[in-house]
Amino acid sequence: MDPYDPPLVEVDTSHLPAGEHLEPSPEGGNRRLALVVIALAAVLGIGGVVLLVQLWPSGAATPSAAAIPAAASPAPEASPAPSASVDPDDVGTWPDLRALPADLGSSLRSVEDGADTRIGFVNDGDETVTLSWIDDEGEQSPYASVEPGQTYVQKTFAGHFWVASGPDETVIAVFQATDQPGRALLR
């Protein structure tokens, strides 16, 4: 017997009137199964649409509520650079970061999962400046000292806060890293 050409089952139709044919009747179980499959496909399709809507980028990212207290001004944005092009290796071409008020340092928390970025700290003042990172619990960790006239580049993440303090540990300014490299002017 050939498995690709099975023998046909013969059905006795002698009891049927002439010209009438025997039609197979669909089984109720198969019809119910088909309806269940269609219903599941519809549910999966709707779920896929909901998932796409939830994951679709909305254009502008909203800052984390933990990143900036209610009394603070909006998140610092990099000001446009005077030159048309930004050289990723030349701090002088990076846009300036807006300094946040010094008194905000104790209430800020760095956010997690930001994009890799850099801040170039440019000390235009007359005294050495100490740079500290504010972690996600609000604790400051000293990272570097920048001598007058020097520039220090720190790898960081967007949403991280950095405190610049003078020799007497007085906070000069606070800066928040953005998605793009930025320059923090210390005066």
Task: Dump the DSSP string for 138-149.
Answer: S-EEEEEEE-TT
**pLDDT at residue 80, as a whole number:** 47
pLDDT tens for 129-163 read 999 999 989 999 999 999 999 999 999 999 999 99
Beta carbons of 154 and 163 less than 8 angstroms apart? no
**What's the CA gap between 91 and 155, in Å, rounded?**
13
- Are residue 176 and residue 123 in the same domain, yes or no? yes
Residue 16 has pLDDT above 90, yes or no: no
Residue 74 has pLDDT above 90, yes or no: no
**What's the CA gap between 10 and 74, in Å, rounded?**
83
Supply the pTM of this predicted model.
Answer: 0.55
pLDDT tens for 23-65 read 655 555 678 888 889 999 999 999 888 877 777 765 444 344 3
**pLDDT at residue 8, as a whole number:** 73
DSSP state of 104: G
The CATH number assigned to the domain holding 167 equals 2.60.40.780
- Are residue 108 and residue 49 in the same domain, yes or no? no
Which tops the pLDDT comparison, 12 or 70?
A: 12
State the greatest distance between any 2 C-alpha atoms of the chain, in Å, as a whole number.
114
Q: Among 129, 121, 63, 132, which residue's Cα sits nearest to residue 97?
A: 121
Domain span holding position 39? 27-54
Q: How many domains does the chain have?
A: 2
**pLDDT at residue 183, as a whole number:** 96
- Are residue 49 and residue 105 in the same domain, yes or no? no
- Are residue 42 and residue 107 in the same domain, yes or no? no
User: Which residue has tokens 């006239």?
Assistant: 149
Q: Among 100, 107, 105, which residue's Cα sits nearest to residue 73?
A: 100
Q: Among 160, 159, 187, which residue's Cα sits nearest to residue 173?
A: 187
